[in-house]
Amino acid sequence: MLMENERKELVNYGKKLVSEGFTKGTGGNLSVFDREKGLMAITPSGIDFFDIKEEDIVIMNLDGKVVEGDKLPSSEWFMHLIQYQKREDIDAVIHAHTTYGTVLACLREPLPASHYMIAVAGKDVKVADYASYGTQELAMNAVKAMEDRRAVFLANHGILAGAQDLLNAYNIIEEVEYCAKIYCVARSIGEPIILPDEEMELMAERFKTYGQRK
C-alpha cells in the first residue's frame, strides 16, 4: 500500500478527535500530503472514525484523481487538496466539528487574541464565508480566510487547521478550541481584553522554538 505510515497516523488521529470530544460520529476529516510524491492520503467518506481501517484510506494526486483505494474520499477532499496546492508550509490538514469553535462559526465571529495560545494558529482565527459542505466554493473560501494563518472557522460548520504534520495540526485544533472556550466563557461575564498585534508577533516568534512539536 502507498503511504502506509500516513494511513496509520490518520486512523489514530481520527479516533483521537472523537475520544477527546473534538468531533462526533463521521463529522470531520483528516489528510496528509507527501510533497515529494505529490500524493495525498485522506480519510474516506461516511465511515465512523473507530471503524476506519488503514486500507480504507484513499490516496489521491494533486489533480484530484484517486490512485489507490476502493472507498470514496471525504466529501471535503478539495478543501484539503487546495491547501497543499497553495501552501508550501502545510503537509497535514484536519477538519473537525469542535463545540466552541463552531459556536463562533455559527455566530460568524472571529476568535481574537484574548489568550496568547491562539498564536499557534496566527494572531487570530477568521471565519470563512459560508458555502455548502463539499463544494469548491467552500474550499476557496477557506483557503482565502486562512492566509497567513494555520486555522480558520467555516461559517455554520466547524474548524479547519493545517500544519507541517498531523501532530502539529492536531495541536492547533486542540489549542484553538481551548481558546474559543475561554473566549466564550469570558464573553458571558464581560468583555475580554484583546492582546495587541505586537504581543502576538512576539508569541509567534517564541513558538517557533517552543516545546517538542518539530
- Considering the candidates 9, 76, 174, 177, report the single residue annotated as catalytic: 76
Q: Alpha helices of the chain — where are they, by DSSP H?
A: 4-19, 77-86, 99-107, 136-145, 166-189, 197-207
- Tell me: the pLDDT tens digits for 162-183? 999 999 999 999 999 999 999 9
pLDDT band at 214 (very low <50, low <70, confident <90, very high): low
Does the annotation count 54 as an active-site position? no
Which amino acid is residue 138, in one-letter code? L
Which amino acid is residue 152, in one-letter code? V
In whole angstroms, what is the distance from residue 207 CA to residue 90 CA?
A: 17
Domains and CATH numbers, the chain: 4-207 (3.40.225.10)
- Which of 73, 116, 113 is CA-nearest to residue 95? 73
pTM over 0.75: yes
- Tell me: the pLDDT tens digits for 56-108? 999 999 999 999 999 999 999 999 999 999 999 999 999 999 999 999 999 99
- Which of 74, 183, 175 is CA-nearest to residue 122? 175
In whole angstroms, what is the distance from residue 130 CA to residue 122 CA?
A: 21
